[in-house]
Structure 1
Protein backbone atom coordinates (compact mmCIF):
# COMPACT_ATOMS: atom_id res chain seq x y z
CA UNK A 1 0.00 0.00 0.00
CA UNK A 2 1.10 3.51 -0.60
CA UNK A 3 0.37 6.67 1.34
CA UNK A 4 -1.42 9.68 -0.12
CA UNK A 5 -1.81 12.67 2.20
CA UNK A 6 -5.37 13.48 3.21
CA UNK A 7 -5.17 16.96 1.71
CA UNK A 8 -4.30 15.54 -1.72
CA UNK A 9 -7.07 12.94 -1.44
CA UNK A 10 -9.55 15.67 -0.52
CA UNK A 11 -8.53 17.69 -3.57
CA UNK A 12 -8.80 14.64 -5.87
CA UNK A 13 -12.23 13.77 -4.47
CA UNK A 14 -13.48 17.31 -3.84
CA UNK A 15 -17.06 16.61 -5.02
CA UNK A 16 -17.46 14.20 -2.11
CA UNK A 17 -16.18 16.75 0.40
CA UNK A 18 -18.63 19.35 -0.90
CA UNK A 19 -21.60 16.96 -0.75
CA UNK A 20 -20.55 15.85 2.76
CA UNK A 21 -20.71 19.42 4.05
CA UNK A 22 -23.88 20.11 2.10
CA UNK A 23 -25.47 17.10 3.82
CA UNK A 24 -24.66 18.52 7.26
CA UNK A 25 -26.17 21.83 6.18
CA UNK A 26 -29.24 20.09 4.75
CA UNK A 27 -29.90 18.24 8.02
CA UNK A 28 -29.49 21.50 9.93
CA UNK A 29 -32.14 23.08 7.72
CA UNK A 30 -34.49 20.11 8.10
CA UNK A 31 -34.28 20.48 11.87
CA UNK A 32 -34.39 24.30 11.85
CA UNK A 33 -30.91 24.62 13.33
CA UNK A 34 -29.33 27.96 12.43
CA UNK A 35 -26.10 27.66 10.44
CA UNK A 36 -23.46 30.34 11.06
CA UNK A 37 -20.81 29.35 8.54
CA UNK A 38 -20.22 26.69 5.90
CA UNK A 39 -16.86 25.94 4.31
CA UNK A 40 -17.47 23.44 1.54
CA UNK A 41 -13.83 22.88 0.65
CA UNK A 42 -10.46 24.07 1.85
CA UNK A 43 -6.95 22.71 1.90
CA UNK A 44 -6.00 21.39 5.29
CA UNK A 45 -7.73 19.40 7.96
CA UNK A 46 -10.69 19.41 8.07
CA UNK A 47 -11.36 19.73 4.35
CA UNK A 48 -14.66 21.45 5.09
CA UNK A 49 -16.99 22.17 7.98
CA UNK A 50 -20.37 23.51 9.07
CA UNK A 51 -20.68 25.72 12.13
CA UNK A 52 -24.18 25.69 13.55
CA UNK A 53 -26.03 26.56 16.71
CA UNK A 54 -25.96 24.07 19.57
CA UNK A 55 -28.71 21.53 18.99
CA UNK A 56 -31.02 20.94 21.95
CA UNK A 57 -32.75 17.86 20.50
CA UNK A 58 -30.31 14.97 20.97
CA UNK A 59 -31.72 12.93 18.06
CA UNK A 60 -31.37 15.90 15.75
CA UNK A 61 -27.79 16.47 16.88
CA UNK A 62 -26.89 12.86 16.11
CA UNK A 63 -28.64 12.91 12.72
CA UNK A 64 -26.88 16.13 11.73
CA UNK A 65 -23.58 14.38 12.44
CA UNK A 66 -24.39 11.19 10.52
CA UNK A 67 -26.44 12.84 7.76
CA UNK A 68 -23.62 12.65 5.20
CA UNK A 69 -23.62 8.86 5.47
CA UNK A 70 -27.15 8.76 4.06
CA UNK A 71 -26.92 11.68 1.63
CA UNK A 72 -23.50 10.83 0.15
CA UNK A 73 -24.38 7.15 -0.21
CA UNK A 74 -27.66 7.86 -2.02
CA UNK A 75 -26.26 10.59 -4.27
CA UNK A 76 -23.11 8.60 -5.09
CA UNK A 77 -25.14 5.58 -6.16
CA UNK A 78 -27.68 7.71 -8.03
CA UNK A 79 -25.02 9.56 -10.05
CA UNK A 80 -23.05 6.43 -10.95
CA UNK A 81 -26.03 4.23 -11.79
CA UNK A 82 -26.73 5.54 -15.33
CA UNK A 83 -23.06 5.08 -16.24
CA UNK A 84 -22.99 1.52 -14.95
CA UNK A 85 -25.18 0.20 -17.76
CA UNK A 86 -22.89 1.16 -20.66
CA UNK A 87 -19.73 0.41 -18.68
CA UNK A 88 -20.67 -3.00 -17.27
CA UNK A 89 -23.36 -4.29 -19.59
CA UNK A 90 -22.55 -3.09 -23.09
CA UNK A 91 -18.83 -2.21 -23.08
CA UNK A 92 -19.50 0.99 -25.02
CA UNK A 93 -18.81 3.58 -22.37
CA UNK A 94 -18.09 7.20 -23.16
CA UNK A 95 -15.82 9.54 -21.20
CA UNK A 96 -18.97 10.98 -19.59
CA UNK A 97 -19.80 7.54 -18.18
CA UNK A 98 -16.37 7.33 -16.55
CA UNK A 99 -16.79 10.88 -15.23
CA UNK A 100 -20.11 9.89 -13.64
CA UNK A 101 -18.51 6.84 -12.02
CA UNK A 102 -15.65 9.01 -10.70
CA UNK A 103 -18.21 11.45 -9.25
CA UNK A 104 -20.22 8.61 -7.72
CA UNK A 105 -17.14 7.02 -6.11
CA UNK A 106 -15.85 10.42 -4.95
CA UNK A 107 -19.16 11.33 -3.33
CA UNK A 108 -19.81 7.92 -1.78
CA UNK A 109 -16.30 7.63 -0.32
CA UNK A 110 -16.93 10.78 1.74
CA UNK A 111 -20.08 9.27 3.26
CA UNK A 112 -18.34 8.25 6.47
CA UNK A 113 -18.79 10.77 9.27
CA UNK A 114 -15.53 12.43 10.28
CA UNK A 115 -13.81 12.21 13.65
CA UNK A 116 -15.16 15.73 14.26
CA UNK A 117 -18.67 14.37 13.70
CA UNK A 118 -17.92 11.60 16.20
CA UNK A 119 -16.74 14.17 18.74
CA UNK A 120 -19.98 16.12 18.25
CA UNK A 121 -22.01 12.97 18.95
CA UNK A 122 -19.81 12.26 21.99
CA UNK A 123 -20.49 15.76 23.37
CA UNK A 124 -24.21 15.19 22.89
CA UNK A 125 -24.50 11.77 24.51
CA UNK A 126 -22.31 12.48 27.52
CA UNK A 127 -24.74 15.18 28.70
CA UNK A 128 -26.86 14.10 31.66
CA UNK A 129 -30.19 14.97 30.02
CA UNK A 130 -29.56 12.74 26.97
CA UNK A 131 -32.18 9.98 26.78
CA UNK A 132 -30.91 6.45 27.34
CA UNK A 133 -31.97 5.27 23.88
CA UNK A 134 -29.86 8.01 22.26
CA UNK A 135 -26.88 6.86 24.32
CA UNK A 136 -27.49 3.20 23.42
CA UNK A 137 -27.51 4.07 19.72
CA UNK A 138 -24.87 6.81 19.92
CA UNK A 139 -22.02 4.90 21.53
CA UNK A 140 -21.82 2.22 18.79
CA UNK A 141 -22.06 4.95 16.13
CA UNK A 142 -19.07 6.70 17.70
CA UNK A 143 -17.17 3.40 17.67
CA UNK A 144 -18.02 2.87 14.00
CA UNK A 145 -16.92 6.42 13.17
CA UNK A 146 -13.53 5.86 14.79
CA UNK A 147 -13.18 2.45 13.12
CA UNK A 148 -14.03 4.07 9.79
CA UNK A 149 -11.42 6.74 10.43
CA UNK A 150 -8.83 4.08 11.19
CA UNK A 151 -10.02 2.08 8.17
CA UNK A 152 -9.50 5.06 5.88
CA UNK A 153 -5.78 4.55 6.41
CA UNK A 154 -6.34 1.18 4.73
CA UNK A 155 -8.54 2.73 2.00
CA UNK A 156 -11.85 1.59 3.54
CA UNK A 157 -13.49 4.84 2.42
CA UNK A 158 -12.39 4.23 -1.17
CA UNK A 159 -13.58 0.62 -0.99
CA UNK A 160 -16.95 1.84 0.27
CA UNK A 161 -17.16 4.43 -2.53
CA UNK A 162 -16.43 1.78 -5.14
CA UNK A 163 -18.93 -0.63 -3.58
CA UNK A 164 -21.69 1.99 -3.62
CA UNK A 165 -20.96 3.59 -6.99
CA UNK A 166 -19.78 0.52 -8.91
CA UNK A 167 -20.77 -2.63 -7.01
CA UNK A 168 -24.40 -1.83 -6.24
CA UNK A 169 -25.27 -0.65 -9.77
CA UNK A 170 -23.45 -3.66 -11.23
CA UNK A 171 -25.52 -5.98 -9.01
CA UNK A 172 -28.76 -4.23 -9.99
CA UNK A 173 -27.90 -4.38 -13.70
CA UNK A 174 -26.98 -8.05 -13.28
CA UNK A 175 -30.34 -8.84 -11.69
CA UNK A 176 -32.33 -6.93 -14.31
CA UNK A 177 -30.39 -7.99 -17.40
Structure 2
Protein backbone atom coordinates (compact mmCIF):
# COMPACT_ATOMS: atom_id res chain seq x y z
CA UNK A 1 0.00 0.00 0.00
CA UNK A 2 1.47 3.36 -1.04
CA UNK A 3 0.99 6.38 1.20
CA UNK A 4 2.69 9.63 0.18
CA UNK A 5 5.69 10.47 2.35
CA UNK A 6 4.36 13.86 3.39
CA UNK A 7 1.28 12.19 4.91
CA UNK A 8 3.46 9.80 6.88
CA UNK A 9 5.63 12.73 8.02
CA UNK A 10 2.53 14.64 9.15
CA UNK A 11 1.11 11.62 10.98
CA UNK A 12 4.43 11.00 12.70
CA UNK A 13 5.56 14.62 13.04
CA UNK A 14 7.04 14.15 16.56
CA UNK A 15 9.63 11.81 15.04
CA UNK A 16 10.53 14.30 12.30
CA UNK A 17 11.00 17.04 14.91
CA UNK A 18 13.23 14.84 17.09
CA UNK A 19 15.22 13.79 14.00
CA UNK A 20 16.03 17.42 13.19
CA UNK A 21 16.67 18.23 16.86
CA UNK A 22 19.19 15.37 16.91
CA UNK A 23 21.08 16.85 13.94
CA UNK A 24 21.04 20.23 15.67
CA UNK A 25 22.14 18.72 18.99
CA UNK A 26 25.15 17.02 17.40
CA UNK A 27 26.04 20.29 15.63
CA UNK A 28 26.03 22.03 19.00
CA UNK A 29 28.11 19.28 20.64
CA UNK A 30 30.74 19.65 17.93
CA UNK A 31 30.47 23.47 17.91
CA UNK A 32 29.32 23.58 14.28
CA UNK A 33 27.39 26.78 13.49
CA UNK A 34 23.78 26.17 12.45
CA UNK A 35 22.30 28.59 9.92
CA UNK A 36 18.72 27.34 9.66
CA UNK A 37 16.53 24.65 11.18
CA UNK A 38 13.14 23.59 9.86
CA UNK A 39 11.67 21.05 12.26
CA UNK A 40 8.61 20.12 10.21
CA UNK A 41 7.08 21.16 6.91
CA UNK A 42 4.91 19.75 4.18
CA UNK A 43 7.31 18.73 1.44
CA UNK A 44 10.47 16.82 0.79
CA UNK A 45 12.43 16.85 3.00
CA UNK A 46 9.99 17.04 5.90
CA UNK A 47 12.61 18.96 7.90
CA UNK A 48 16.23 19.94 7.65
CA UNK A 49 19.22 21.53 9.37
CA UNK A 50 21.58 23.76 7.42
CA UNK A 51 24.96 24.07 9.07
CA UNK A 52 28.48 25.15 8.29
CA UNK A 53 30.71 22.69 6.45
CA UNK A 54 32.33 20.42 9.03
CA UNK A 55 36.12 20.14 8.81
CA UNK A 56 36.38 17.10 11.11
CA UNK A 57 35.20 14.02 9.17
CA UNK A 58 34.22 12.08 12.32
CA UNK A 59 32.11 14.99 13.53
CA UNK A 60 30.42 15.26 10.15
CA UNK A 61 29.57 11.56 10.19
CA UNK A 62 28.23 11.79 13.75
CA UNK A 63 26.05 14.80 12.85
CA UNK A 64 24.66 12.79 9.94
CA UNK A 65 23.92 9.64 11.97
CA UNK A 66 23.01 11.45 15.20
CA UNK A 67 19.27 10.92 14.68
CA UNK A 68 19.80 7.16 14.61
CA UNK A 69 21.23 7.29 18.12
CA UNK A 70 18.91 9.94 19.58
CA UNK A 71 15.65 8.78 17.98
CA UNK A 72 16.30 5.14 18.86
CA UNK A 73 17.05 5.83 22.52
CA UNK A 74 14.31 8.42 22.95
CA UNK A 75 11.71 6.28 21.15
CA UNK A 76 12.38 3.37 23.51
CA UNK A 77 12.42 5.58 26.62
CA UNK A 78 9.15 7.31 25.70
CA UNK A 79 7.37 3.99 25.19
CA UNK A 80 8.92 2.22 28.19
CA UNK A 81 6.43 3.52 30.83
CA UNK A 82 3.53 2.22 28.71
CA UNK A 83 5.02 -1.23 28.22
CA UNK A 84 4.26 -2.59 31.69
CA UNK A 85 0.54 -1.72 31.82
CA UNK A 86 0.04 -2.52 28.14
CA UNK A 87 1.94 -5.78 27.74
CA UNK A 88 2.34 -7.25 31.23
CA UNK A 89 -0.91 -6.30 32.95
CA UNK A 90 -3.11 -5.92 29.87
CA UNK A 91 -4.59 -2.84 31.54
CA UNK A 92 -3.56 0.16 29.42
CA UNK A 93 -4.80 3.67 30.00
CA UNK A 94 -5.28 6.18 27.16
CA UNK A 95 -1.94 7.81 27.96
CA UNK A 96 -0.22 4.46 27.32
CA UNK A 97 -1.48 4.45 23.74
CA UNK A 98 -0.20 8.00 23.35
CA UNK A 99 3.22 7.01 24.67
CA UNK A 100 3.41 4.02 22.31
CA UNK A 101 2.41 6.25 19.36
CA UNK A 102 5.06 8.82 20.33
CA UNK A 103 7.70 6.13 20.83
CA UNK A 104 6.99 4.49 17.45
CA UNK A 105 6.81 7.90 15.75
CA UNK A 106 10.17 8.99 17.14
CA UNK A 107 11.91 5.65 16.53
CA UNK A 108 10.65 5.27 12.97
CA UNK A 109 12.42 8.52 12.02
CA UNK A 110 15.77 7.28 13.34
CA UNK A 111 17.17 6.39 9.92
CA UNK A 112 19.41 9.07 8.43
CA UNK A 113 18.25 10.43 5.08
CA UNK A 114 19.90 9.92 1.71
CA UNK A 115 20.93 13.59 2.03
CA UNK A 116 22.89 12.59 5.13
CA UNK A 117 24.49 9.75 3.13
CA UNK A 118 25.48 12.20 0.37
CA UNK A 119 27.00 14.46 3.01
CA UNK A 120 29.17 11.59 4.30
CA UNK A 121 29.99 10.53 0.72
CA UNK A 122 31.40 13.98 -0.07
CA UNK A 123 33.82 13.61 2.84
CA UNK A 124 34.85 10.07 1.89
CA UNK A 125 35.75 11.13 -1.65
CA UNK A 126 38.33 13.60 -0.35
CA UNK A 127 41.90 12.35 -0.46
CA UNK A 128 42.79 13.61 3.03
CA UNK A 129 39.99 11.59 4.67
CA UNK A 130 41.62 9.06 6.99
CA UNK A 131 41.37 5.31 6.39
CA UNK A 132 39.41 4.60 9.62
CA UNK A 133 36.76 7.14 8.61
CA UNK A 134 36.51 5.52 5.17
CA UNK A 135 36.34 2.01 6.66
CA UNK A 136 33.38 3.02 8.82
CA UNK A 137 31.86 5.55 6.43
CA UNK A 138 31.30 3.37 3.37
CA UNK A 139 29.26 0.72 5.21
CA UNK A 140 27.29 3.50 6.96
CA UNK A 141 26.40 4.97 3.56
CA UNK A 142 25.34 1.53 2.34
CA UNK A 143 23.14 1.00 5.41
CA UNK A 144 21.54 4.43 4.97
CA UNK A 145 20.64 3.63 1.35
CA UNK A 146 19.35 0.18 2.36
CA UNK A 147 17.21 1.84 5.03
CA UNK A 148 15.91 4.31 2.46
CA UNK A 149 15.04 1.48 0.08
CA UNK A 150 13.53 -0.48 2.97
CA UNK A 151 11.25 2.43 3.86
CA UNK A 152 9.36 1.63 0.65
CA UNK A 153 8.58 -1.70 2.32
CA UNK A 154 7.76 -0.06 5.68
CA UNK A 155 11.12 -0.92 7.27
CA UNK A 156 11.07 2.40 9.14
CA UNK A 157 7.71 1.54 10.69
CA UNK A 158 8.90 -1.99 11.54
CA UNK A 159 11.99 -0.47 13.19
CA UNK A 160 9.85 2.01 15.12
CA UNK A 161 7.60 -0.76 16.40
CA UNK A 162 10.60 -2.95 17.28
CA UNK A 163 12.22 -0.13 19.26
CA UNK A 164 9.09 1.28 20.92
CA UNK A 165 7.19 -1.95 21.50
CA UNK A 166 9.66 -4.82 21.19
CA UNK A 167 12.52 -3.34 23.20
CA UNK A 168 10.39 -2.15 26.18
CA UNK A 169 8.51 -5.45 26.10
CA UNK A 170 11.84 -7.31 26.23
CA UNK A 171 13.03 -5.13 29.12
CA UNK A 172 9.77 -5.73 31.01
CA UNK A 173 10.07 -9.49 30.41
CA UNK A 174 13.65 -9.52 31.70
CA UNK A 175 12.94 -7.39 34.77
CA UNK A 176 9.45 -8.52 35.78
Say yes or no: TM over 0.5: yes
Kindly state the Cα deviation for residue 129 of structure 1 after the two structures are TM-superposed: 1.0
- Rounded to whole Å, the distance in 2 between the matches of 1:110 and 1:81 is 18
Q: Secondary structure at the match of 1:161?
A: helix
- Rounded to whole Å, the distance in 2 between the matches of 1:126 and 1:16 is 31
Partner of 1:155: 154
Kindly state the Cα deviation for residue 91 of structure 1 after the two structures are TM-superposed: 1.1
Partner of 2:137: 138
Deviations 1:97-118 (A, max 9, x none): 0000000000000000001000
Length, aligned pairs only: 176
- Rounded to whole Å, the distance in 2 between the matches of 1:84 and 1:24 is 28
Deviations 1:26-85 (A, max 9, x none): 000000000000000000100000000000000000000000000000000000000000
- Rounded to whole Å, the distance in 2 between the matches of 1:48 and 1:39 is 5
- Rounded to whole Å, the distance in 1 between the matches of 2:137 and 2:82 is 36
The answer on 1:21 being equivalent to 2:24 is: no
Where do 1:120-131 residues align within 5 Å?
120-131=119-130
Partner of 2:118: 119
- Rounded to whole Å, the distance in 1 between the matches of 2:127 and 2:41 is 35
Which segments of structure 1 move beyond 3 Å, counting only runs of 4 or more?
A: none
- Rounded to whole Å, the distance in 2 between the matches of 1:65 and 1:71 is 12
Where do 1:48-127 residues align within 5 Å?
48-127=47-126
- Rounded to whole Å, the distance in 1 between the matches of 2:7 and 2:57 is 35
Kindly state the Cα deviation for residue 127 of structure 1 after the two structures are TM-superposed: 0.9
Q: Secondary structure at the match of 1:65?
A: helix
Q: TM-score, normalised by structure 1?
A: 0.99
Partner of 2:173: 174
Kindly state the Cα deviation for residue 128 of structure 1 after the two structures are TM-superposed: 1.2
